[in-house]
Amino acid sequence: MTTKRPDPENDLFPQMYRELHRVAGGYLRRERKNHTLQPTALVNEAWIRVQKEQGHELKGRTHGLAIAAQAMRRLLIDHGRHQKRDKRGGGAQPVELNDLMNAAAEGPVPVEDLLTLEAALTRLEAIDPRAAQIVTLRFFSGMSSREVAEHLQLSLRTVEGDWAHARAWLKRELSGEQHPPSEE
Amino acid sequence: MASVHARAKDIFLDAVEIAAADRAAFVEQACAGDAELRREVESLLLYHDEESTNEAEPAAASFAPGALVAGRYRMIARIGQGGMGDVWRADDLVLDTAIALKVFLASGPDARDRLLNEVRLARQITHPSVCRVFDVGQADGVAFFTMELVRGEDLAALLRRVGRLPSDKVIDIARQLCAGVAAAHAHGVLHRDLKPANVLIDDDGRARITDFGIAITKTNTRGHALTGTPAYMAPEQRIPGGTVSERTDVYSLGLVLYELLVGHDAFKRSATLDEPLRPSAIVANVDPALERAIMPALSHDPELRWGSVEEMAAALPQATPNQTTASAPATAFDLRRRPVWLAGLGIAALVALLAYGSAFVGLPSSRTLTEQDVVLLADFENATGDPVFDGALKVALAVALEQSPFLKVFPEEQARQTLRLMQRPAGERITRAIARDIAMRERLKALLAGSIANLGQSYIVTLEAINAQTGDVMAQEQAQAATKEQVLSSMGKAAVSLRRKLGESLASVQKFDVPLPRATTSSLDALYAYSLALDNGREVPRLEAIPHLKRAIELDPAFAMAYAQLSAVYSNTGQGALAPEVARKAFELRDRVSDREQFFISWRYYRDALQAWDKALDVARTWTATYPREAFAFNSLGNALIRFGQFDQAVQPLRDAIRLDPQFIPAYSNLAASLLALNRLPEARQILRQAADRRLEFAGARRLSFLMAFVEGDAQTMEKELAASIGVRSTNAAFGWQAHVLAFGGRAGDAHEQYRRGIDRSGAGNFKEVAAQLSIEDAETHATLGQCETAKAEVPAGLAISRDTAAVDRASRVLALCGVPEATALSGEVQKRLPDAILISRVSAPVTAAMLALSRGEPKHTIELLEPVRSYDLAPAAELWPVYIRGQAYLQLKDGAAARKEFQTILDHRGQVPVSVLYPLAHLGAARAATLMGDPAAARASYDSMLELWKSADPALAPLIEARRERAALDVTPS
B501 in contact with A, Cβ within 8 Å? yes
The CA distance from B420 to B416, in Å, is: 7
Look at residues B495, B281, B513, B296 and name the one whose alpha carbon lies nearest to residue B402: B495
Long-range pairs, B33-37, Cβ under 8 A, ≥24: B36/B4, B37/B4, B37/B7, B37/B8, B37/B11
The CA distance from B64 to B44, in Å, is: 37
pLDDT at B928: 97
Look at the alpha carbons of B635, B636, B637, B643 in this order and tell me if their dihedral is positive or negative. positive
Flag if B44 and A183 touch (Cβ within 8 Å): no
pLDDT at A111: 56
The CA distance from B672 to B674, in Å, is: 5
A31 in contact with B, Cβ within 8 Å? no
Long-range pairs, B625-631, Cβ under 8 A, ≥24: B626/B595, B626/B599, B627/B596, B627/B599, B629/B660, B630/B596, B630/B660, B631/B656, B631/B657, B631/B658, B631/B660, B631/B661, B631/B664, B631/B667
Contact (CB, 8 A) for B854 and B630: no
Flag if A41 and B478 touch (Cβ within 8 Å): yes
Flag if A107 and B355 touch (Cβ within 8 Å): yes
Flag if A181 and B355 touch (Cβ within 8 Å): no
Query: Looking at the partner chain, which of B43, B272, B301 has a beta carbon nearest the beta carbon of A180?
Result: B43
Of the residues A169, A171, A175, the best mutation for testing chain B's interface (the one with the most B CB atoms within 10 Å of its CB) is A169
A142 in contact with B, Cβ within 8 Å? yes
Give buried/exposed letters for B327-342 (b at 16+ CB in 10 A, else e).
ebebbebebeebeebe
Query: Looking at the partner chain, which of B3, B301, B504 has a beta carbon nearest the beta carbon of A127?
Result: B3
The CA distance from A161 to A166, in Å, is: 8
CA distance B484 to chain A (A): 14
Per DSSP bridges, beta strands B133-139 and B142-148 are antiparallel
Which DSSP string corresponds to B558-577?
A: T-HHHHHHHHHHHHHTT-GG
A15 in contact with B, Cβ within 8 Å? no
Distance from the Cα of residue B213 to its chain's centroid = 42
Strand partners, A13: none
A121: three-class secondary structure by DSSP: helix
Contact (CB, 8 A) for B375 and B414: no
Flag if B493 and A160 touch (Cβ within 8 Å): no
CA distance A146 to chain B (A): 9
Going by the DSSP 8-state scheme, the letter that residue B512 receives in this structure is P
The CA distance from B703 to B715, in Å, is: 14
The Cα-based distances of B848 to B772, B787, B808, B854, B855 in angstroms read: 19, 18, 12, 10, 11
List, for residues A158-174, the tens digit of each pLDDT value.
888 898 888 888 888 87
pLDDT at B243: 78
CA distance B91 to chain A (A): 29
Q: Active-site positions of B?
A: 193
Look at the alpha carbons of A30, A35, A41, A42 in this order and tell me if their dihedral is positive or negative. positive
Look at residues B971, B883, B884, B881 and name the one whose alpha carbon lies nearest to residue B931: B971
The C-alpha angle A123, A126, A129, rounded to 5 degrees, equals 110
CA distance A176 to chain B (A): 7
B3 in contact with A, Cβ within 8 Å? yes
Task: Identify how many contiguous H helices and E strands chain B contains and give both numbers.
Answer: 43, 16
The CA distance from B205 to B208, in Å, is: 10
Q: How many CB atoms lie within 10 A of CB B925?
A: 26
The CA distance from B945 to B436, in Å, is: 70
Within 8 A of B460 by CB-CB distance, chain A residues are 44, 48
A41: three-class secondary structure by DSSP: helix
A145 in contact with B, Cβ within 8 Å? yes
Within 8 A of B480 by CB-CB distance, chain A residues are 40, 44, 142
At residue A31, what is the residue type? E
The CA distance from B130 to B120, in Å, is: 14
Flag if B235 and A181 touch (Cβ within 8 Å): yes
Backbone angles phi, psi at B484, to 5 degrees: -60, -40
Flag if A44 and B16 touch (Cβ within 8 Å): no
Flag if B49 and A44 touch (Cβ within 8 Å): no
3-state DSSP of B4-24: HHHHHHHHHHHHCCCCHHHHH
Residues of chain B short of pLDDT 50, as ranges, are 51-61, 214-227, 270-272, 321-371, 510-515, 730-731, 975
A81: three-class secondary structure by DSSP: helix
List, for residues A80-101, the tens digit of each pLDDT value.
666 555 443 444 444 555 555 5
Q: Which of residues 42-101 of A touch B (CB under 8 A)?
A: 44-45, 48, 60-61, 93-94, 98, 101
Tell me the CB-side half-sphere exposure of residue B781, using CA atoms within 13 A: 29
CA distance B358 to chain A (A): 12
Backbone angles phi, psi at A116, to 5 degrees: -60, -45
pLDDT at B81: 63
At residue B488, what is the residue type? L
The complex's ipTM works out to 0.72
B160 in contact with A, Cβ within 8 Å? no
Helix axis angle, B432-441 to B524-533, nearest 10°: 0
pLDDT at B372: 57
B13 in contact with A, Cβ within 8 Å? yes
Of the residues B480, B487, B491, B505, the best mutation for testing chain A's interface (the one with the most A CB atoms within 10 Å of its CB) is B480
Locate the chain A residue with the closest alpha carbon to B41: A180
Flag if B40 and A165 touch (Cβ within 8 Å): no
At residue B278, what is the residue type? R
Report the side by side order of strands in the sheet with B86-92: B68-69, B73-81, B86-92, B97-104, B142-148, B133-139
Locate the chain B residue with the closest alpha carbon to A107: B497
pLDDT at B729: 54
The structure's pTM equals 0.49
The CA distance from B443 to B514, in Å, is: 9
pLDDT at B920: 96
Per DSSP bridges, beta strands B361-362 and B150-154 are parallel
Flag if B496 and A106 touch (Cβ within 8 Å): yes
Of the residues B39, B47, B477, the best mutation for testing chain A's interface (the one with the most A CB atoms within 10 Å of its CB) is B47
Distance from the Cα of residue A130 to its chain's centroid = 14
Within 8 A of A165 by CB-CB distance, chain B residues are 9, 12-13, 44
A9 in contact with B, Cβ within 8 Å? no
A40 in contact with B, Cβ within 8 Å? yes
Of the residues B3, B4, B7, B9, the best mutation for testing chain A's interface (the one with the most A CB atoms within 10 Å of its CB) is B9
**Direct distance between the N- and C-terminal alpha carbons of chain A, in angstroms, rounded to an integer:** 38
Query: Looking at the partner chain, which of B12, B271, B456 has a beta carbon nearest the beta carbon of A61?
Result: B456
B16 in contact with A, Cβ within 8 Å? yes
The CA distance from B294 to B177, in Å, is: 13
Q: How many CB atoms lie within 10 A of CB B98?
A: 15
Look at residues B607, B623, B565 and name the one whose alpha carbon lies nearest to residue B837: B607
Residues of chain A short of pLDDT 50, as ranges, are 1-10, 32-34, 56, 86-94, 103-107, 179-184
The CA distance from B244 to B242, in Å, is: 6
The CA distance from B456 to A145, in Å, is: 17
Q: Percentage helix, strand, coil, to 5, in chain B?
A: 60, 10, 30
Of the residues A125, A179, A183, the best mutation for testing chain B's interface (the one with the most B CB atoms within 10 Å of its CB) is A183
pLDDT at B972: 72
The CA distance from B872 to B547, in Å, is: 38
Contact (CB, 8 A) for B260 and B171: no
